[in-house]
Amino acid sequence: MLMLINCSGCRTALQLPHGATSIRCALCQAVTYVADPRNAPSPPAQALAPPPAPTGPWGGQPPPPSAHGKKRAVICGISYRYSRHELKGCLNDAKCMKYMLMNRFHFPESSIIMLTEEERDPYKIPTKANIRMAMYWLVQGCQPGDSLVFHYSGHGSQQRNYNGDEADGQDETLCPLDFETQGMIVDDEINATMVRPLPFGVKLHAIIDACHSGTVLDLPFLCRMDRNGHYVWEDHRPRSGVWTGTSGGEAISFSGCDDHQTSADTAALSKVTSTGAMTFSFIQAIERSQGMMTYGSILTSMRAVIRSTGDSVGGGSGGGSVTSLLTMLLTGGSGGGLKQEPQLTAHETFDVYAKPFSL
């Protein structure tokens, strides 16, 4: 059984395994002792000295003050290296997303947590525990004016739903690096951690590049294109009446595909290196935008990039083997019936053609 305690350094809630007498914080690295000091073993000598400066996700600097209008992001790219689940493009997705957030939307590098297998800090490896901690950090103490981003590129899956809140009987999941031993992160937990706590004035954007990711944040409304080519909202609120929206804030998610679809990991789109099709199309939609961007224009552009097999993605001429590969990957080799359609879900309905997009 797990119990929650506050970190002695940064006050983050930590999950203490049963029987443990101390725990190190993944964010500020402070060691918190919880046992009665009369019964607990004496801490090592270095623990009695003044604590060193924090060396957590803020690059050796103290955590930034809780200021109005701050921006922070969690970027997770999992390649499942050396396993049968290996993906080629997820690390590139993470690096590209970080670059875009810093250079296009002016996110401070010190306020971005990167979770990849390249990280040397063991608390930044994309394990289940570390992803959970990062999601908690992202929304902790958020205030009106804050802009939060959660980007995930990796495997997604589904598992049986037992509480009757899913129309298709399936919960959507994210697969951390250690999912085969520690299990997956279920949409119910993602919603409870990052969506429901959001207060008024706080904005969360999630960009999820994974299979079966359409409603992985369990947001109450999904935007779908009708037969006439217009975006319309579908009501996905649970039949049980449980509220899956926010506490007044905004939560909007772009995902790589519908719940029943898979998401491509390919070199066909960038022509240079492997990327997730969804992440690449999202960044392309941002970079190609002229003037004001709306959620509708971004979604339309993303779908056009993925569907396109004749136009150049990188500025050169399209077609040839690249076109054939993209068609095969995204249409199942048939040239029709696209298997990957980026999705938009939100905490509330709005006019996607009029609402400006900003991070």
Q: pLDDT of 23-75, one tens digit each?
A: 777 666 777 776 543 444 444 444 344 444 444 454 454 454 444 469 999 99
Say whether pLDDT at 318 is over 50. no
Q: Which tokens in the block code for residue 241?
A: 């009446």
Q: What pLDDT score was predicted for residue 26?
A: 67
Quick check: 128 and 178 in contact, CB under 8 A?
yes
Is 70 exceeded by the pLDDT of residue 255?
A: yes
155 is catalytic: yes
Tokens of 114: 């990167």
Phi, psi (rounded to 5 degrees) for 30:
-70, 145
Q: Is the dihedral of CA 102, 354, 213, 272 positive or negative?
A: negative
Of 255, 78, 252, nearest to 149 by C-alpha is: 252
For residue 132, the model assigns a pLDDT of 95
Task: For the chain, report the end-to-end CA distance as a whole number of angstroms.
Answer: 39
346, amino acid identity: A
> Would you call 211 a catalytic residue per the annotation?
yes
The per-residue pLDDT for 226 is 80
CA–CA dist 230, 228 (Å, integer): 6
Domain borders along the chain are: 3-42, 71-311+340-346
Helix (H, G, I), strand (E, B) or coil at 2: coil
- Catalytic entry in 211, 223, 236, 347: 211
Mean pLDDT confidence for 96-111: 94
Question: What is the residue-averaged pLDDT of the chain?
Answer: 76
In this structure, which topology does domain 71-311+340-346 adopt according to CATH? Rossmann fold (3.40.50)
HSE of 21, CA atoms in CB hemisphere, 13 A: 9
Q: What percent of the chain has pLDDT over 90?
A: 42
| Candidate list 155, 205, 236, 347, residue with the active-site label | 155
Q: Where do the H-state alpha helices sit in 224-340?
A: 277-288, 295-307, 320-331
